Amino acid sequence: MRPARAPAPAAARGGLALYELYRAASRAAAPAVLLWRRLQGLEHPTRWPERLGQPSAARPRPGSPLVWFHAVSLGEGMAALPVVRHCAGLHPGLPVLLTTTTLSSFEVIKDLLPDGVIYQFAPLDCPDAIDSFIGYWKPSLVLLMESELWPNLIMSAAAKGIAVALLNARMSLKSFNRWSVPLGLPLVTLMLSKLSLVAPLSTIQAVRFQLLHTPPGIIHFAGDLKYAVGDVNVMENEVNKINDLRQQFSNRPLWMAASIHRGEEQVILRVHEELIKIYPTLLLILVPRHPQDCKTFSLALKKQEVNFVLRSTKEVVSSGTRVYMVDTLGELRMLYRVTPVAVIGGSFLPGLAGHNISEAAAAGCAVVTGPHVGHFYHMLLDMWQINPLAVKQVAGEFKLLQTLKELLGDAETLGACQRAAKDAFSIMSHGVVNRVWNLVCRFAIDF
């Protein structure tokens, strides 16, 4: 039996009234929000009714317990997958449901789920969609990933006696400041009082949750599940892809720029242009964060008269190819196993907040990132503590160029950075899934 939930702190006084206002506003806004998202192409063309809580799959074993994992997008969904697999492996007959909200997460994650795990698009956080969803699936446990604090979801689950836990819990400084104002604090305090477990990413994150009056007894550390994302064996079809790419690349010097945001491609291409002057056969694997940016990146390459190929066209890389652009989804983990050096994007322009570096480290890449890494800075600190060579953080374009010159030109330095990254990942990832699941069993499971 899970521990009794602590009473709501005094700071939550007034939260119920604010929740009722939110509940009414979200009900009124939901049709317009969904219509706008559909017009923008942000919803699945045929499965969008799931966003209203209308199921597209049968509920297995009616009357039995069901575990619902919820993540917002691809990164959070990938972090949830190791726990989903662990749960499904320990309890083979237990129905497990995973929801996310974005098309990119759907395209990648649907093919990585264990047999029997159900995927649905998450309901919008409006009362009707949430009540319909919960009423149909009847979860016994809700495991939210990272920053998914949705009032209707949490309050509705709590009202029905369903345990809710927040795993890999994080809150950006911007969100913390928004929740800390007089109109936000009573509502977030009320929501947090309904949780059975908060497993924060770092001490800083734990402090933020405590300052928002999360009951101290439910805050427990287990490690960062993003380390577990890279700790997955390569599937057989990926091995074939890796061998094919290695054959095409013909032992050329190689580096990869992964998860590159619009605007960052200019930095990457300028650096690549300088590197080619030193290494004439150098090949860049360029992976946009958002496939829709491939058009913009292609125009930039054409303007600079750079010879490039797109992965989706299956065009073979020739000796004259300078850039191999990946416009497909779900292949980043495989691609890390092809390159010796991985530069992680989302980190070279102000306003960006970095991306997960653990997949590149797990593959044995020398890992490089820019100055803007957001909450991933705790990951850098963890890995630096084990070995300062595990991740190289550069201040900008010039330092990136100098670092890549060093890595590409000195096999001993490159090898040392590759080994440091892989070793640091191995240490940080060890046991994290077990620790998280043990906390879930202790604080949230009651079936």
- 8 A C-beta contact, residue 326 and residue 286: yes
Candidates 373, 426, 8; CA nearest to 213 is 8
Candidates 357, 294, 374, 351; CA nearest to 327 is 294
* C-alpha–C-alpha distance, residues 264 and 352, integer Å: 10
Taken in order 62, 66, 71, 73, is the CA torsion positive or negative? negative
Residue with structure tokens 């991306």? 355
* C-alpha–C-alpha distance, residues 107 and 113, integer Å: 12
425-430, Cβ contacts within 8 angstroms, sequence gap of 24 or more: 425/227, 425/230, 425/231, 425/358, 425/361, 425/362, 425/383, 425/390, 427/386, 428/223, 428/224, 428/227, 428/358, 428/382, 428/383, 428/386, 429/227, 429/228, 429/230, 429/231, 429/358, 429/362
Is-catalytic flag, 412?
Answer: no
User: What is the secondary structure of 307-321 as a DSSP string?
Assistant: -EEEGGGTPPP-TT-
Tokens representing 146? Answer: 């990272």
Q: Which of 76, 146, 265, 359 is catalytic?
A: 76
246 three-state secondary structure: helix
Segments in 63-172 forming alpha helices (H): 74-90, 103-109, 127-137, 151-159
CA distances from 93 to 67, 109, 142 (A): 11, 21, 18
- 8 A C-beta contact, residue 213 and residue 8: no
| Beta-bridge partner residues of 257 | 286, 343
CB count within 10 Å of CB 340 equals 19
Q: How far is CA 433 from the centre of its chain?
A: 16
- 8 A C-beta contact, residue 344 and residue 258: yes
Give me the active site residues, please: 76
